[in-house]
Amino acid sequence: MSNYPPTHPSSAPGSDSRDARWPGWIGGFAVGLAALGMLGLCCGAGGLLSGSVFSKMAGMEFPPPPRLIVVMTVAGGAVALVLAVMELSGGISTLRRKPSGPRMLLRYAVFSLLYAAVAIPLNYLTIRPGAEWAADIMPAQLDFAEKNGAKVTAENRAEAEAAREPTAFGYVSPFVGSAIGIVFPLVLLAFLRRPDVRKQWESWEA
């Protein structure tokens, strides 16, 4: 008779959910991406809304941003902030091996995809107003440079006027940015819903 206690199949190496490494990868990525997203929101919103203040401090008079861009920035930033909080919360709970973590990340993934589906067409509405606003800023910059001794040619001013027409990159960039932004949500949906993975994180409640 063996002196060793019987071994339950679930205690075999690698079969215990505590041996899984994916919570560290998934949770770490979620926390890192959420932090970067929050930083980007602060920089983007701060730069847009404070641009006129800093331009006046520098002696330049910039036109205010179009109302559509301001509304889109504020509304989109609010939604993106909520999503970032969900992603951060889900990532931390996943790192701590709590089943609420993957559940929150799945909710985050679904809402992120829905937000992207709405945001992509709306972002295209801001392309032309954004280009025209940037073109209106450039003459003020050229006037400021000329006032401080820099040589400004008619060609420089013509280039500034030509910038009112959006470029091909300007039309493509919103789609590219949104496409990159949905990669992680798609990975979360595909991975966390796998039967073997779902069984693991649901067992964390035990």
Residue 173 has pLDDT above 50, yes or no: yes
Of 184, 79, 75, nearest to 125 (Cα)?
Answer: 75
Residues near 87 by Cβ (< 8 Å), separated by ≥ 6?
A: 30, 31, 33, 34, 37, 105, 108
Read off the pLDDT band of 104 (50, 70, 90). Answer: very high
Read off the pLDDT band of 179 (50, 70, 90). Answer: confident
Burial pattern 129-146, b for ≥16 Cβ within 10 A else e, equals bbbbbebbbbebbbebee
Q: Which of 3-7, 67-71, 112-116 has the highest mean pLDDT?
A: 112-116
What pLDDT is stored for residue 59 in this prediction? Answer: 61
Mean pLDDT in residue range 105-117? 95
Q: Which of 14-28, 76-90, 150-164 has the highest mean pLDDT?
A: 76-90
Mean pLDDT in residue range 56-79? 78
What pLDDT is stored for residue 26 in this prediction? Answer: 95
User: What span, in angstroms and rounded, lies between the C-alpha atoms of 199 and 205?
Assistant: 11
Contact yes or no for 163/131 (Cβ under 8 A): yes
Contact yes or no for 87/142 (Cβ under 8 A): no
Mean pLDDT in residue range 152-165? 74
Q: Hey, how many other C-beta atoms are within 10 angstroms of the C-beta on 200?
A: 22
DSSP 172-201: HHHHHHHHHHTHHHHHHHHHHTSHHHHHHH
Residue 131 has pLDDT above 50, yes or no: yes
What pLDDT is stored for residue 176 in this prediction? Answer: 83
Per the model's pLDDT, the better-predicted residue between 138 and 102 turns out to be 102
Triad 170, 172, 177: Cα angle to 5°: 100
Per the model's pLDDT, the better-predicted residue between 181 and 95 turns out to be 95
Average pLDDT, the chain: 81
Residues near 20 by Cβ (< 8 Å), separated by ≥ 6?
A: 200
User: What span, in angstroms and rounded, lies between the C-alpha atoms of 172 and 165?
Assistant: 14
Q: How far is CA 153 from CA 58, 108, 123, 135, 192, in A?
A: 22, 51, 34, 16, 59
Share of the chain above pLDDT 70, in %: 81
Q: Which run of H or of E encompasses 138?
A: helix 127-147
Residue 51 has pLDDT above 70, yes or no: no
Mean pLDDT in residue range 182-191? 95
What pLDDT is stored for residue 154 in this prediction? Answer: 74
Contact yes or no for 92/28 (Cβ under 8 A): no
Mean pLDDT in residue range 40-69? 70
What pLDDT is stored for residue 86 in this prediction? Answer: 96
